[in-house]
Amino acid sequence: MLYNYSLEIGTVLFMTIILLHFLASQQFPIIQTRLFFLFLIFSILESIVDIVSCVAIYHKDMVPLWLNELLVLIYFLVQGISYYLFYLYTISVCSISKKKRKIWSIQGIIPMTLHLLIVISAPFNGFLYYFDENYLYHHGAGRPYLYFCIFAIVSMGAAITYKNRGRLRILYKTIILYYSLICCVTLFVQYYCPQVIITGFGRSCIVLLMYLSMQNMGEYTDNMLEIYNSSAFSVMFKEVQKSQRFAMITLELEKYNMIAVQLGNKNATLLLRQVAQKLYHIGKKYYVFRNGYATFTILSKADSNRVEYIIDTIRSLLQMPWIVNGRNIYLNGNLVIQYYPEHFQTIEEATSFSTYLLERAAIFGNNVDLYGNEELVSEFKRNAEVEQALDYALKQEMLDVYYQPIYSVGEDKITSAEALVRLFDRKLGFISPAEFIPIAEKMDGLLL
């Protein structure tokens, strides 16, 4: 049989270009990125093996039988793995719990295992394919079962997408829908016209859509300091949160606005860039972020030795002079350290608790290392509850105001009155002014 594999050659070249650009762009090491990389590698490998196998089968008189059998076996194995990798990619883009993700991954192993058994047993029983005495390649009776396994994996991915359609970005839904349709069409054509090789071409279209859906690294980079920004922090926070306990270390340079006034904005930015690049090398490339004007965050494994190394290294850096245009500048900064899941559960809690810890650290002075603990977490949550109660009371006009007269002995009369504000919440009960007034003073638009 003479195979038409012209499209496969173009497919290999096209996907290789995408692979080279992907490697050069250095995407975030999140699970979707890793799965895309594996899917791309196996898709390229599948097309290459398919082409080589077609050529080898056509030149059966020149190619040893064992080599032809090996090439066909590798092709079907790689084909099954690539379909399963896209199934895992489908699961990864759904915003679901770790437990559900694990269950669905295991469910996909069932058709994948059946696929592998059919392929691996083929050289011994000829169920999927066989070579006759003239070394001619033939499809076996098990070919429909192999296609059924592939169709089952594709259908399961489509079903998961439909079930979680409300949580998915439109682009992800489009990718998975197109993938399902293209797979069905190409498998149908491949089944009834086996001499036409088009599965790789269909997959290359999906690879392009997948790559276009990935992060634009320019949106995640602080161009002034050449490190990642708060948007990148959100992406990587969600990624590390999936798999492990981790530490969040935040550095805030003290009174940097005053330094900026002395140096000028341009020189102040140059100094910040020096600091950022030092932190970049301390915390590893993808785990250092700028979260404020002079605030930086490092995400690290919750290994005490690693965390202490980061803190000690930062402290050593702050003790040395920083040279800007020939001037020696000394920096002060407070460090706050918190752990997931002991101190926070969400990114909102993490950033809010970090801000709270920085405020507490500033009370103690400069160059303070403040670790989160149960007591501070309780205080933070209490403050948040009081703030919510105060906000509700303001909106509902539920603050009780009492006027205490001030009597002048010299004039023998009441000369003025002092306003006393009282706050009562149904859940928290009576809240002391000493507790809610400092919180109220920080709330925007409230004057006491």
> How do the domains of the chain map onto residue ranges?
5-218, 223-372, 382-443
Using DSSP bridges, classify how beta strands 221-222 and 227-228 pair: parallel, antiparallel or unpaired.
Answer: antiparallel
Note the pLDDT of residue 419.
66
Note the pLDDT of residue 113.
94
Note the pLDDT of residue 420.
67
Task: Read off φ and ψ for residue 255, nearest 5 degrees.
Answer: 50, 40
Half-sphere exposure of 431 (CA within 13 A, CB side): 25
Using DSSP bridges, classify how beta strands 429-431 and 221-222 pair: parallel, antiparallel or unpaired.
Answer: unpaired
SS3 of residue 406 by DSSP: strand
The sign of the dihedral angle between the CA atoms of 381, 384, 388, 390 is positive
CB-based burial of residue 229 (10 Å sphere; 0-12 exposed, 13-18 middle, 19+ buried)?
A: middle
Note the pLDDT of residue 441.
65
Task: Read off φ and ψ for residue 130, nearest 5 degrees.
Answer: -160, 160
Fold of 223-372: Alpha-Beta Plaits (3.30.70)
What is d(CA 59, CA 67) in angstroms, rounded to the nearest whole number? 12
Q: Do domains 5-218 and 223-372 have the same CATH topology?
A: no
Tell me if the bond preceding 144 is cis, omega within 30° of 0.
Answer: no
State which H helix or E strand residue 38 sits in. helix 31-58
Tokens 């103690």 correspond to: 364
Note the pLDDT of residue 447.
46
What is d(CA 15, CA 183) in angstroms, rounded to the nearest whole number? 17
SS3 of residue 3 by DSSP: coil
What is d(CA 430, CA 400) in angstroms, rounded to the nearest whole number? 11
Cα–Cα nearest to 200, from 3, 406, 409, 425: 3
Note the pLDDT of residue 445.
47
Taking residue 338's Cβ as centre, other Cβ atoms within 10 Å add up to 24
Class of domain 5-218: mainly alpha
What is d(CA 11, CA 111) in angstroms, rounded to the nearest whole number? 27
Q: How far is CA 398 from the centre of its chain?
A: 43
In degrees, to the nearest 5, what angle opens at C-alpha 42 toward C-alphas 44 and 199? 60
Note the pLDDT of residue 217.
66
**Category of 445 on φ-ψ map: left (φ > 0), alpha (ψ -120 to 50) or beta:** left
pLDDT in tens, the chain (448 residues): 566 778 888 899 999 999 998 888 777 778 888 999 999 999 999 999 999 998 898 888 888 999 999 999 999 999 999 999 999 999 988 877 778 888 999 999 999 999 999 999 999 999 999 998 888 888 899 989 999 999 999 999 999 988 888 778 787 888 888 888 888 888 888 778 877 777 888 888 889 888 887 766 677 888 888 888 888 898 888 888 876 789 999 999 988 888 888 888 889 889 999 999 999 888 876 789 999 889 999 999 888 899 999 999 999 999 999 988 888 888 999 999 999 988 888 899 999 999 889 988 988 888 889 998 888 888 888 777 777 777 766 666 666 666 767 766 777 677 776 666 767 676 767 766 766 766 666 665 454 4
Taking residue 348's Cβ as centre, other Cβ atoms within 10 Å add up to 9
What is d(CA 399, CA 395) in angstroms, rounded to the nearest whole number? 10
What is d(CA 153, CA 151) in angstroms, rounded to the nearest whole number? 6
Note the pLDDT of residue 13.
94
In degrees, to the nearest 5, what angle opens at C-alpha 53 toward C-alphas 49 and 56? 140
